[in-house]
Amino acid sequence: MIEQFEQGVEVLRQQIDARISSYFSSCVHCGLCAEACLFYTETHDPRYTPIYKLEPMRKLWRREHTFWGKLGAVFGLNEPLTEQDFADWETLVYDSCTLCGRCSMICPVGNDITYMIRRQREGFSVAGYAPEGMKEATKRALKIGSPMGVTFKTLKAALAHVERDTGLAIPIDKKGADYMTLFSSMEVVNFPEYIESIARIFQAAGISWTISSKAFEATNSGIQIGNREAAAELVNRIVVAAEELNVKYVVSPECGHAYTSIRWEGPNLIGRQYPFEVVHILELLEQLKRDGRLQLEGKSATPMTLHDPCQIVRRGGVVQQPRELLDGVAETFVEMKDHGVMNWCCGGGGGVSANDRAEPLRLRVFERKKRQLEETGVDTLVTACANCRIILEEGIEEYEMETEVISLTELVAEHLVDGSKNKE
Amino acid sequence: MIGQFIDGPLWTFSLAVFVIGVVWRIVTILMAGNRPDLSTPRGSASSGAIRTIFSRSVYERTAATRGRLLQIAGYLFHIGLFALLFFAKPHVDFYAERITGFGWATMPHWAFILSAELAFLGLLLLWIHRLLSPVTRLLSDLDDHLGSILVFLVMLTGCLALAQSFEALRLIHLLLAELLLIYFPFSKLMHTFTFVMSRGYTGATMGRKGVNA
């Protein structure tokens, strides 16, 4: 255990780069980041202040990177990082942070606190201080290929249903296809309608696409828990499969953190650039719409609002595309008060949804989203992340709300010119 | 005797510690290095960095009541202090004589007084908030308080020196300013310089992603 702790400290030490050094040097402890964090605003517990969640890393930085810290260490005046610090901060690091990045948008000195917490998790994970649910999900992802234990056999069964319902053939391992499409386990298990929508949209737009039997899972538990090796392995599987199939593009599904992992972190994890492009499904759909390849008809009369998934919008840069798409299918689109890059998280990102012990806190802080939703006066909530969708539905059930949650991709599919689905 | 020491060697020493210390801190941060980002950018990192360096000074409307107070107090203190430091006549005369060899336009007396009042109000609000808010009470350490106290004392003695025109008060003000200069590179006061780096790094990362941060 001591050896594991020391390895964790060493990994934490390795995370302190120029960015993090500048962040700690700039922080004046103003506490403004607390105002941006739903875990603080909904509980008023000061321990949930984002920068406070970084005390273990700050302690190490101060001792090894500052004059007073080094001087104090020589004279035994300041305490080194202890295993108890890891134990005390584990819940703050994993249960009360969704890596949503809202705090990073508000910090007056520009600290990317989310980046720091993401890095701090690397040390915690190696030291063994991570939630059991996330550890198990990572093990399953490495062993089976999916954090939820979904195998290709399961996907095939879902695809068979889609083929039966749509009359379309789903291309598997088709070499030379333009697009290789990924899914999240949640989409396969909970929302197979998403797969059907993709098949129908791609058929209508004349897209050459395929699914890899070797790498269909887009989620990456390694990134959420902070295990660099696991994260790199999961990304590498996708990259190898895409290279074998010689595709031009890999399509990230609606899932938010999957996009961050394959689009932004992936090349850095495996240490090389991809020979293909990564596009988010919303980027692709908006591009197809703009190019006239995605023909939509009719608009839903039901007023709709949009929940911006943090990793796709704030941390991913896909901001306008969902709005452009909604504009094509919704007659009345009502923006939330804090929308786009300042939207409030659903409360289940960053692995919190895979962390059973965090559930009561997650449901409590959902009150922020509830208020945000109620302010719009709209009962139909569109989103583009399977994880957000599940968390939103759980919150809506918990608070006995009447809101319906729908996927943007599925909504678009319902309005295809040659669509067979009923429109509202 | 003490006056000559404060006016002469201690001034030179404190200025040297300040300059060398600040450069050392910045070099130390840069030497920690950053891994190159291999992901394909959607936007420009440099534009993002420049934008964020400036845009984080803009009022953040999404912050709640406590956040609004913090931001307004922050504006009052920083703008007031900046005006005092660089446009108060006694300071400009001092820089011209001791450092630059040339002076520049100074603000009128009423603006001097207004700047001092704004800076005091801002600093006191920020300090009271630090002492009263459960969030800042939990976060704050000795360095946070020491920096605030030193800045407050330097400003207070500066105003007294101006009002009373006693040589002793001028020397006390200079002595405290020298102590502040010596303390500066080893403290949170370094954010005066490192904020450009922290904002720049975040802006560059977000700029690559096409996000206005």
Q: Considering CB atoms only, which of A16, A25, A30 is closest to B190?
A: A25
Query: Is B127 among the domain residues?
Result: yes
Residue B104: which CATH number?
1.20.950.20
User: Which percentage of chain A shows pLDDT scores above 90?
Assistant: 96
What average pLDDT does this structure show over A29-42?
97
The residue type found at A143 is K
- Residue A56 in contact with residue A89, Cβ under 8 Å? yes
Question: Count of domains in chain B?
Answer: 1
- Best interface-test mutation with B: which of A12, A15, A24, A26 has the largest number of B CBs within 10 A? A26
- Closest listed residue to residue A202, CA positions, set A231, A233, A226, A169: A169
What pLDDT score does B162 carry? 81
Query: Is B119 among the domain residues?
Result: yes
User: Does an H or E element contain A293, and which?
Assistant: none
What pLDDT score does A281 carry? 98
Q: Considering CB atoms only, which of A18, A25, A273 is closest to B34?
A: A18
Q: What pTM was computed for the model?
A: 0.95
A297 pLDDT band, cuts 50/70/90, is very high
Is the pLDDT reported for residue A423 higher than 50?
no
Query: Is B37 among the domain residues?
Result: no
Residues of A in contact with B81 (CB under 8 A): none
CATH code, residues A2-130: 1.10.1060
Any bridge partners for residue A183, and if so which?
A217
- B60-74, B92-106, B180-194: least confident range: B60-74
Is the pLDDT reported for residue B163 higher than 80?
no
User: Could you give the CA distance from residue A385 to residue A306 in angstroms, rounded to a whole number?
Assistant: 11
A424 pLDDT band, cuts 50/70/90, is very low
What pLDDT score does A418 carry? 64
Range of the domain at B146: 2-29+64-193
Query: Is B101 among the domain residues?
Result: yes
Reported as a single tens digit per residue, the pLDDT across A59-113 is 999 999 999 999 999 998 888 999 999 999 999 999 999 999 999 999 999 999 9
Angstroms from A379 CA to nearest CA on chain B = 24
User: Could you give the CA distance from residue A12 to residue A27 in angstroms, rounded to a whole number?
Assistant: 19
Query: Is B10 among the domain residues?
Result: yes
Supply the ipTM of this predicted assembly. Answer: 0.96
Ranges of CATH 3.40.50 domains, chain A: 134-289, 295-414
What is the residue-wise DSSP string for chain B? -HHHHHHTHHHHHHHHHHHHHHHHHHHHHHHT--PPP-SPPSS-HHHHHHHHHHHTTS--TTS-HHHHHHHHHHHHHHHHHHHHHHH-HHHHHHHIIIIIS-------HHHHHHHHHHHHHHHHHHHHHHHH-HHHHHH--HHHHHHHHHHHHHHHHHHHHHHH--HHHHHHHHHHHHHHHHHGGGSGGGHHHHHHHHHHHHHHHHHHHT---
What pLDDT score does A421 carry? 46
Residues of A in contact with B210 (CB under 8 A): 317, 319
Topology of A134-289 in CATH? Rossmann fold (3.40.50)
CATH code, residues A295-414: 3.40.50
Residues of B in contact with A105 (CB under 8 A): 213
Tell me whether residues B34 and A32 touch, CB distance under 8 A: no
- Residue A116 in contact with residue A57, Cβ under 8 Å? yes
Q: Considering CB atoms only, which of B62, B191, B209 is closest to A316?
A: B209
State the sign of the Cα–Cα–Cα–Cα dihedral A95, A101, A102, A106.
positive
Average pLDDT, chain B: 95
- CB of B38 within 8 Å of any CB in chain A? yes
Angstroms from B22 CA to nearest CA on chain A = 12
- CB of B211 within 8 Å of any CB in chain A? yes
What is each CA distance from A287 to A85, A290, A297, in whole angstroms?
A: 48, 5, 17
Is the pLDDT reported for residue A422 higher than 50?
no
Ranges of CATH 1.10.1060 domains, chain A: 2-130
What pLDDT score does B12 carry? 96
User: Could you give the CA distance from residue A184 to residue A349 in angstroms, rounded to a whole number?
Assistant: 14
- Closest listed residue to residue A120, CA positions, set A22, A26, A37, A54: A54
Reported as a single tens digit per residue, the pLDDT across A170-222 is 999 999 999 999 999 999 999 999 999 999 999 999 999 999 999 999 999 99
What pLDDT score does B165 carry? 73
Is the pLDDT reported for residue B20 higher than 80?
yes
Query: Is B43 among the domain residues?
Result: no
B135 pLDDT band, cuts 50/70/90, is very high
- Tokens 């709709």 correspond to what residue? A304
- Residue A48 in contact with residue A96, Cβ under 8 Å? yes
B residues 95-124 lying closer than 8 A (beta carbon) to A = none
Q: What is the DSSP letter of A260?
A: I
Reported as a single tens digit per residue, the pLDDT across B39-78 is 999 999 999 999 999 999 999 888 877 899 999 999 999 9
What average pLDDT does this structure show over B187-204?
98
- Residue B29 in contact with residue B191, Cβ under 8 Å? no
Is the pLDDT reported for residue A225 higher than 90?
yes
Query: Is B206 among the domain residues?
Result: no
Angstroms from B181 CA to nearest CA on chain A = 15
- CB of B25 within 8 Å of any CB in chain A? yes
- CB of B66 within 8 Å of any CB in chain A? yes
- CB of B165 within 8 Å of any CB in chain A? no
Query: Is B120 among the domain residues?
Result: yes
